Structure 1
Amino acid sequence: MAHRPVDDHEINHQKFDELSITWNTTDPVGQPAWNFGDYGNPDDYISHLGWRHDARSELAALQGRQLIAAELLEYAGGDVADGMVAVSFVFSKGRVTVSNGLDENSLEFGGPDPSYLRCPLPR
């Protein structure tokens, strides 16, 4: 079976233990929006997503590099964050781990914290 190349990954952490990973679903030309709240309530919040030109230099350095491996990481540090799942991408030169930073995704560069249990994803 031929596999279609994956160009874009979308990662979303919600609450403390919910993780969503999708790929090639965001239209970089369109005007995507992210909805928060119960649809139709006056308290709803809509955030219009856009490509950032001020990306962290460590992340920008990974653009265009070959993805070597991907891992799911489960935190087992013996505290309230136990069971939290992160996603780690290993590139030809560099690595980025996306974890739950509570109100936003957290980006870590280099090898993941040794408190993580690693689960490599098949190719």
Structure 2
Amino acid sequence: MIGVCGFEPTFLVGLEAVREHHGPRLAALAGRRLSGFALVRFVTAPVTGWEEDELTPAWSSADERLESFVGQELREVALLEWRPSRPDVAAGTLAVEFAFGTGRFHIANALDENSIEVGDAHPEWVRHRLGRGAQPS
């Protein structure tokens, strides 16, 4: 696997499978502070002498939208399930939402890449709470 020695991906399908496999660990993050972040984006680069492209990881720690969350306590983690009102190829896909005292963001599969969205999720995302951290006093 690219860059992570010993990593073996687990391919899960559906809300219940993801919740069962990852839910307890994600819920346990509530109450902890975000100490930083790193983004990995895959960029396409031509392979010399080949007709095909190669995916090359590009590491970054710069995303101004996420900077304001560093140092904040995570209040809640949820899985978001895309349930559109009309037929949609992305129906049933999942995102992970992280809620802090001053806002929230979610990471979703945008079909051809991952996306990070800051703020409240679109109303057609259905929230499935996994756990809560400390509540405001």
How high is the TM-score relative to the length of structure 2?
0.53
Per the alignment, residue 27 of structure 1 pairs with none
Alignment of 1:24-103 (within 5 A): 45=54, 47-53=56-62, 55=63, 57-77=64-84, 78-80=86-88, 81-103=90-112
Change (3 A) 1:45 1:117: same
Q: Which has the larger radius of gyration?
A: 2
Q: Alignment partner of 1:121: what SS?
A: strand
- Structure 2: gaps of 5 or more residues: 1-8, 27-39, 43-49, 133-137
Richer in strand (by share) = 1
Match of 1:105 among 114, 129, 136: 114
Q: Hey, what's the Cα distance between the residues in 2 that align with 1:99 and 1:64?
A: 23
Greater relative contact order (CA < 8 Å, ≥ 6 in sequence): 2
More helix by share: 2
Could you list the structure 1 runs, at least 4 aligned residues long, displaced by more than 2 angstroms after superposition: 19-23, 42-53
Counterpart amino acid of 1:74? Answer: E
Q: How many residues align?
A: 92
1:99, distance to aligned residue in structure 2 (A): 1.1
Question: RMSD over aligned Cα, in angstroms?
Answer: 3.7
- Residues 51-82 of structure 1: CA distance to partner in whole angstroms, max 9, x if unpaired? 433x1x22111111110001001111132221
